[in-house]
């Protein structure tokens, strides 16, 4: 909280843990810290994970630089002609880039930024659509660098609880799958982006930002300072023969190779081994490693085959893609190390003893863990760091206080609370990246997104309170959360629009320019609203709903594998 620097802070946490173990000898503590860094790096699961995210970075670099992103822009450019459709499109493309939040922000932001601004969608709304789509989609997968990391955190939790998968009756990957339906915050955050974009019902500072953009054409506040675009990390997209194959091809290869590899590694090809058992018993890191290598290789081959790059440029793109993951790797290694440090000093047991002795009802543990994850993530700005700090505490605590049955709930709400920080903290890396790739003023992005993230978080807290009172079925809790979210958005929109004298349903640019909506009268406070009207059965919203429903069906089918 003091430094606002996640790398410095994580290293300090590891070093302090080493100081305790080393009897407060700073030289011995520094040596022990180095030993711990090497230890986590050499763990087979962790080593595979580090290599796979480097391959992910290279594959994403090919999608961007080979012209795949340019082909996508050209393909959709003539089909999207309103602010509403550009917002829906941003949400939709984010669904396709499910394998990495960083990659999704870069690719989706670049693909839709100019289109959004041409159609007078505020940069604040574009940043929100990017930020609240990328992390939720990546955390669900079904194939992503996030899954590998989250499974590694669950493994750390098993070690802290000194229990094995056989004792719990579920593998770390199986527990992750079971936790997906309980990641209520992420589902609601993701749903809100689409619901708000389709209905055009805004509230809070976003309502003002959208009205400014529609009525004046200023997509950014006059005295705002937009963050610069860092696409130079991997170079500009090639305009030599851009093709959609170089966009969709590598993504499809990643998905197919990863899933088939995980099925095969889990023994799915052997007689009598069900799909569910194969995925629970698989080596998820190795399966994702195979998939990410195929992802990179298909991007490389596509770039050369369509002659969008020469061999030298393609080789450079691999290295540049690796470089985009440097910060992520540093955070990951330190996050693993602080988990190891907490294990060495017995942090989990201290917390467990305190909570068990306090008489806290076990059924209310999920809401406590969720609030703790929100706080840590907001103040530190890192969802992965939050997972590293809390997972080795939450799993032993839940196991001792309640038993194995509560672990999927704790893991789901912990991961959701950690991602809340990505949607609200001004020092979060994904929040900053969303501001960069939307061209938004960073503080404006934070201020406009917090009310939306807060709405999803409050709904989650209400559901978890109900869980504590006895509502302990995810497939009842999730629909109820959906209804509460819709009611909250509609109520907040109606209240704020009436308070400000602005339209409840944001009108289109065409309606404003044609005079259907009297902007001057609204500005003078003489007209109560003049709501816009939108056709909900045009190509973009209908296509978006179909694809999102199909994606969510895939996610829940994936979760069902965990039993």
Q: What is the pLDDT of residues 435-474, one digit of tens each?
A: 877 878 888 998 999 999 999 999 999 999 999 999 989 9
**Band of residue 103 on the pLDDT scale cut at 50, 70, 90:** low
**How far lies 232's CA from each of 61, 116, 320, in Å?**
11, 21, 10
Ranges 78-87, 136-145, 271-280, 416-425: which has the least confidence = 271-280
Percentage of residues in the chain having pLDDT higher than 90: 38
Q: Phi and psi at residue 226, in whole multiples of 5°?
A: -70, 145
**Band of residue 230 on the pLDDT scale cut at 50, 70, 90:** very low
Q: What are the strands, taking DSSP E only, across 39-95? A: none
* Whole-number Å distance between alpha carbons of 96 and 248: 9
Q: Phi and psi at residue 230, in whole multiples of 5°?
A: -105, 30
* Whole-number Å distance between alpha carbons of 126 and 106: 13
Higher pLDDT, 40 or 460: 460
**Band of residue 356 on the pLDDT scale cut at 50, 70, 90:** low
Partners of 226 in beta bridges: 441
Instruction: Choose among 156, 102, 40: nearest CA to 388.
Output: 156
Report residue 397 as tokens: 């605590």
Would you give the end-to-end CA distance of the chain in angstroms?
39
Report residue 66 as tokens: 């080979």
| Residue 260 burial (CB count, 10 A) | 16
Q: What is the pLDDT of residue 527?
A: 64
Ranges 257-266, 358-367, 477-486, 518-527: which has the least confidence = 518-527
Ranges 133-137, 348-352, 545-549, 551-555: which has the least confidence = 348-352
Q: Is 226 helix (H, G, I), strand (E, B) or coil?
A: strand
Q: What is the pLDDT of residue 198?
A: 94
Q: What is the pLDDT of residue 288?
A: 83
**How far lies 187's CA from each of 132, 340, 493, 562, in Å?**
10, 31, 20, 18
* Whole-number Å distance between alpha carbons of 6 and 46: 20
The stretch 170-188 carries a mean pLDDT of: 93
321 close to 234: Cβ distance less than 8 angstroms: yes
Count Cβ neighbours within 10 Å for each residue of 392-404 and write b for 16 or more, e otherwise.
bbbbbbbbbbbee
Q: Is 495 helix (H, G, I), strand (E, B) or coil?
A: helix
Maximum CA extent, the chain: 75
Instruction: Choose among 158, 189, 161: nearest CA to 175.
Output: 158
Q: Is 2 helix (H, G, I), strand (E, B) or coil?
A: coil
Q: What angle do CA 326, 331, 336 make, to 5 degrees?
A: 130
**Band of residue 355 on the pLDDT scale cut at 50, 70, 90:** low
Q: What is the pLDDT of residue 235?
A: 63
């Amino acid at each position: 909280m003091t430094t606002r620097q996640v790398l410095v802070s994580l290293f300090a946490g590891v070093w302090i843990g080493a100081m305790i173990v080393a009897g407060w000898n700073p030289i011995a503590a520094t040596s022990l810290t180095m030993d711990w860094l090497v230890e986590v790096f050499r763990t087979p699961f962790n080593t595979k994970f580090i290599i796979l995210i480097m391959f992910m970075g290279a594959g994403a670099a090919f999608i961007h630089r080979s012209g795949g992103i340019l082909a996508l822009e050209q393909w959709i450019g003539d089909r999207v002609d309103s602010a509403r459709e550009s917002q829906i499109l941003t949400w939709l493309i984010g669904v396709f880039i499910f394998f990495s939040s960083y990659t999704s922000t870069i690719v989706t932001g670049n693909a839709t930024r100019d289109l959004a601004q041409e159609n007078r969608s505020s940069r604040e709304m574009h940043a929100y659509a990017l930020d609240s789509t990328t992390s939720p989609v990546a955390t669900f997968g079904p194939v992503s660098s996030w899954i590998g990391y989250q499974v590694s955190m669950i493994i750390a939790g098993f070690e802290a609880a000194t229990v094995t998968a056989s004792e719990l009756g579920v593998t770390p990957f199986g527990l992750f799958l079971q936790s997906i339906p309980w990641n209520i915050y992420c589902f609601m955050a993701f749903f809100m982006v689409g619901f708000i974009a389709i209905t055009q019902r805004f509230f809070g500072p976003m309502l003002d930002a959208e009205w400014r953009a529609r009525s004046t054409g200023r997509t950014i506040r006059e005295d705002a300072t937009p963050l610069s675009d860092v696409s130079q990390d991997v170079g500009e997209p090639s305009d030599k023969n851009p093709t959609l194959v170089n966009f969709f091809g590598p993504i499809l290869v990643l998905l197919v190779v990863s899933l088939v590899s995980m099925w095969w590694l889990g023994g799915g090809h052997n007689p009598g081994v069900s799909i569910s058992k194969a995925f629970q018993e698989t080596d998820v890191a190795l399966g994702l490693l195979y998939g990410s290598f195929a992802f990179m290789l298909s991007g490389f081959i596509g770039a050369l085959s369509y002659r969008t790059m020469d061999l030298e440029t393609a080789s450079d793109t691999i290295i540049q893609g690796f470089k985009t993951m440097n910060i992520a790797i540093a955070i990951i290694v330190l996050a693993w190390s602080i988990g190891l440090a907490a294990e060495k000093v017995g942090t989990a047991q201290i917390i467990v003893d305190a909570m068990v002795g306090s008489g806290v009802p076990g059924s209310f543990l999920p809401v406590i863990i969720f609030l703790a994850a929100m706080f840590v993530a907001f103040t530190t700005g890192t969802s992965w760091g939050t997972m590293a700090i809390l997972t080795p505490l939450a799993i032993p605590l839940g196991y001792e206080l309640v038993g194995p049955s509560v672990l999927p709930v704790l893991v789901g709400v912990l991961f959701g609370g950690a991602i809340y920080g990505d949607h609200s903290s001004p020092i979060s890396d994904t929040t900053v990246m969303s501001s960069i790739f939307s061209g938004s003023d960073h503080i404006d992005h934070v201020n406009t997104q917090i009310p939306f993230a807060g709405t999803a978080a409050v709904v989650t807290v209400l559901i978890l309170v109900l869980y504590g009172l006895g509502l302990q079925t995810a497939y009842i809790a999730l629909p109820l959360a959906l209804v509460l979210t819709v009611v909250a958005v509609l109520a907040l929109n109606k209240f704020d629009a009436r308070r400000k004298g602005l339209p409840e349903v944001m009108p289109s640019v065409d309606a404003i320019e044609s005079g259907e909506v009297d902007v001057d009268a609204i500005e003078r406070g003489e007209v109560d609203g003049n709501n816009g009207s939108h056709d909900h059965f045009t190509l973009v919203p209908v296509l978006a709903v179909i694809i999102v429903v199909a994606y969510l069906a895939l996610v829940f089918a994936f979760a069902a594998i965990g039993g």
